[in-house]
Amino acid sequence: MAKGHISSLLAAILIIFFSSPLATAARYNVLNYGAKPDGRTDSTQAFLAAWTQACESIMAATVHVPPGRFFLQNVAFQGPCKNNAILFRVHGTLVAPSDYTVIGNTENWIFFQYVNGVTVSGGVLDGQGPGLSACKASGMNCPSGATSLGFCNSNNIVISGLTSLNSQLYHIVINGCQNVKVHSVTVSASGHSPNTDGIHVQLSSGVTILKSRIRTGDDCVSIGAGTTNLWTENVACGSGHGISIGSLGKDLQEPGVQNVTVKSVTFTGTQNGLRIRSWGRPSSGFNSIVIDQNYCPDNQNCPGQESGVKISDVTYQDIRGTSATEVAIKFDCSKKNPCSGIKLKDVKLNYKNQPADASCDNADGTAFGFIQPSSCL
């Protein structure tokens, strides 16, 4: 009897063990598919093969990338997958081709599309961008460059503990996604590298960016058309251009920007702190958040110079830092569609150790707490 009890107990334990998620998560190590951590061998197909297995798995799956340098050309990890819990666990460094023409004409280097429940954790992405920056600086005809990590039309995404170095173009792009958490991410590129935005969000809802350090040659976080319910907190920006909403309203049919919160962000030597700008031309976009509603490069293609984009409900809270230009806060909104519902709370921005300037046109809102430069709302 006692023996029977013990064996059924054992069986129960075994069943619990093997049915726990840890015991059953399938694990696909890229080395088993031919990837080589030598920084030279093209591991693109090996990564794709490991991804395909993880995506086909009916249970939670991990793609495991061990330490080492893995050379990757542009690669698209496509869904939909048969499970919605794929962990891309990276210990090593993914290295882009040093010849910028190889991926420079593709939109993305590492790209996820139509996936649900994907986490990219850890690792370093080395976009090898300086060659392309040098080409652009020389005035030659150069490719526009690839975004290092792109997520498109995907839901329930986590990007954590990742370091992105020297992208050719944007570092991270979230486009057409819902429920995305970006946290503990480090972005680093030269202050002189053009269009190397840290994190660009568009046509997406429920994106949260937490505890990250972003040093680039362009926007720290850029918020494009169709962004709603974005939360940014505890982000250190600098160098670069600061946090920008826009340019919005470039297209006639363009969704607006709604409910954006920027909280506890520090700016160090950024060109601006916060900037909202929208194209000075008609657009059906509404409720957006940009600080220049008369944006019109070279005064071309902006009939009437009146922005059709509406910007509302933008909160900036606990923002501090230094601006590289005198005007640290610029709300340049259109007469036809003034910005509304802008809230400033506890803001301290300097320019050359003096309080910076703020400028407001057609912007309505409220200021609370300590505000420097004094609010122009």
Ligand X SMILES: *[C@@H]1O[C@H](CO)[C@@H](O)[C@H](O)[C@H]1NC(C)=O
8-state DSSP, 182: E
Q: Which of 84, 229, 350, 375 binds ligand X (CB under 6 A)?
A: 229
> Closest approach of Cβ 116 to ligand X, in Å?
20
What is the distance between the alpha carbons of residues 194 and 320, in angstroms, rounded to a whole number? 25
Q: Which stretch binds ligand X (CB under 6 A): 50-58, 90-98, 223-231, 268-276?
A: 223-231
What is the distance between the alpha carbons of residues 153 and 228, in angstroms, rounded to a whole number? 15
| Residue 261 touches ligand X, criterion: CB under 6 A | yes
Nearer to ligand X, 94 or 314 (CB): 314
3-state secondary structure of 31: helix
Tokens of 364: 């309505």
Q: Which of 84, 91, 130, 231 binds ligand X (CB under 6 A)?
A: 231
> Closest approach of Cβ 288 to ligand X, in Å?
14
> Closest approach of Cβ 337 to ligand X, in Å?
20
Nearer to ligand X, 312 or 323 (CB): 312
For 165-178, give the DSSP string. Answer: E--SS-SEEEES-E
Count of residues in contact with ligand X, rule CB under 6 A: 5
Nearer to ligand X, 186 or 261 (CB): 261
Residues 6+ apart with CB under 8 A from 153: 113, 114, 175, 176, 177
307 with 280: CB under 8 angstroms? yes
Q: Which of 29, 84, 259, 268 binds ligand X (CB under 6 A)?
A: 259
Q: Which stretch binds ligand X (CB under 6 A): 12-20, 229-237, 271-279, 350-358?
A: 229-237
User: What's the Cα-to-Cα distance from 174 to each of 100, 127, 189, 273, rounded to whole Å?
Assistant: 23, 17, 19, 22
Q: Which stretch binds ligand X (CB under 6 A): 19-27, 82-90, 224-232, 244-252?
A: 224-232
What is the distance between the alpha carbons of residues 306 and 332, in angstroms, rounded to a whole number? 11
3-state secondary structure of 14: helix
Catalytic residues: 241
Q: Which stretch binds ligand X (CB under 6 A): 91-99, 226-234, 269-277, 317-325?
A: 226-234
Compute the C-alpha angle 85/234/349, nearest 5°: 150
User: What's the Cα-to-Cα distance from 349 to each of 251, 267, 268, 309, 344, rounded to whole Å?
Assistant: 33, 8, 10, 27, 12
| Residue 268 touches ligand X, criterion: CB under 6 A | no
| Residue 340 touches ligand X, criterion: CB under 6 A | no
Nearer to ligand X, 46 or 230 (CB): 230
> Closest approach of Cβ 259 to ligand X, in Å?
4
Interacting residue ranges for ligand X, rule: CB under 6 A:
229-231, 259, 261
